[in-house]
A = this chain, B = another copy of it.
Amino acid sequence: MKKLINAPDAVVKEALEGMEAAHGDRLKITYEPAMIVRADAPVQGKVGIISGGGSGHEPMHGGFVGRGMLDAACPGEVFTSPTPDQMLEATKAVDGGAGVLHIVKNYTGDVLNFEMAADLAKGEGIEVEAVVTNDDVAVQDSLYTAGRRGVGITVIAEKICGAAAEEGKSLAEVAELCRQVNGQGRTMGMALTACTTPAAGTPSFDLGPEEMEIGIGIHGEPGRFREPLGSAAQVVERLATAVVEDLPYQSGDNVLAFVNGMGGTPLIELYVVYRELHKFLDGRGISITRNLIGNYITSLEMAGCSITLLKLDDELTRLWDAPVDTPALRWGA
């Protein structure tokens, strides 16, 4: 295992300390329980938004805390759900009187723990709504999930809901928007290589030198197909066909196209993938009117990519374009 770390069991805590040292002017970091919180939280009268999940997917979620996106994130250990007490404390930390939205990726542990936290928060008089994202079209059930996994759309939902909350929308409105984004979004991913958790020290699965895995999850869960290594065009054909036909996205649609790297894939390759995706969608009469290209929801050092599409309307486009000021996504601010 070759990693820039000190001790496997200290990675999450030490990365948080790095975030605190780097971004302490705009983020509050706590360790017991572990949370990344907007420095100015709670914002009175604004709906608070929190998310969380296992670490190892950086910058998601901690890198998305800030004005116009999340109010707090709860990092678990690597590929391990955070605990209900983290989520409860985060909920309390960001409640400005207008209630709190939990954006939850569909993994069994995350869902159960967020449910428990929501119940506890409600017991303390905080209004909570939860939206579970489940945009991964690859498989119905998988290693950590009943139903579809929540993946790339989560990043987009956090941005769009963050903008709506910043504008003063109500909890019911922000939650409904989150359901809409999830409903109009689809994702599929693939891997060229496995990844190694610090605790395990060996790769989570084996992929031969001439193999790739199509439809993989963000923890290396098995996908749809293991097949011979293909070209970027073949990979995009596989992923984008499954994504487009699932909703389906149709001729005349405007979409946000999100080409995401899994952590170990360099940007030059993601632009080759984007080229293929643009051609593919163009051939179906689907217009990319917004895009995001980079490593945003990752699986440690896994090489590979995912493709997320979100069907846009004017309102979603406006909220996507609104200012955001977080360590990992920043514009207009």
A→B interface (CB under 8 Å):
2-7, 11-12, 14-19, 21-22, 55-56, 58-59, 63, 192-193, 209, 212, 229, 231-233, 235, 263-276, 278, 288, 291, 293, 295, 298, 300-301, 303-305, 327, 330-333
Contact = CB atoms under 8 A, between A and B. Distances in A.
Contact of A275 (B21, B63, B209, B235): B21
28 contacts: A2-B192, A2-B212, A2-B303, A3-B269, A4-B192, A4-B232, A4-B235, A4-B265, A4-B273, A4-B304, A5-B269, A6-B276, A15-B272, A18-B272, A18-B273, A18-B274, A18-B275, A18-B278, A19-B271, A21-B274, A22-B271, A22-B291, A58-B268, A63-B267, A264-B266, A266-B300, A295-B295, A332-B333
B21 A269 contact: no
B59 A267 contact: yes
Contacts of A265: 4, 301
A14 B56 contact: no
A213 to B, nearest CB: 11
A22 B274 contact: yes
Contacts of A4: 192, 232, 235, 265, 269-270, 272-273, 304-305
A6 B231 contact: yes
Contacts of A16: 271
Nearest to A269: B4
Contact of A331 (B15, B56, B278, B333): B333
Contact of A268 (B11, B273, B278): B11
A332 B324 CA distance: 10
A258 to B, nearest CB: 11
A268 B263 CA distance: 10
Contacts of A327: 293
A4 B300 CA distance: 18
Contact of A272 (B5, B56, B301): B5
Which of A15, A19, A330 gathers the greatest number of chain B CB atoms within 10 Å? Answer: A15
A130 B145 CA distance: 57
A116 to B, nearest CB: 26
Given A6-B231, A14-B275, 14 more contacts: A2-B209, A2-B303, A3-B192, A4-B192, A4-B270, A5-B232, A14-B232, A18-B273, A19-B271, A22-B291, A267-B295, A267-B298, A330-B331, A331-B331
A5 B229 CA distance: 11
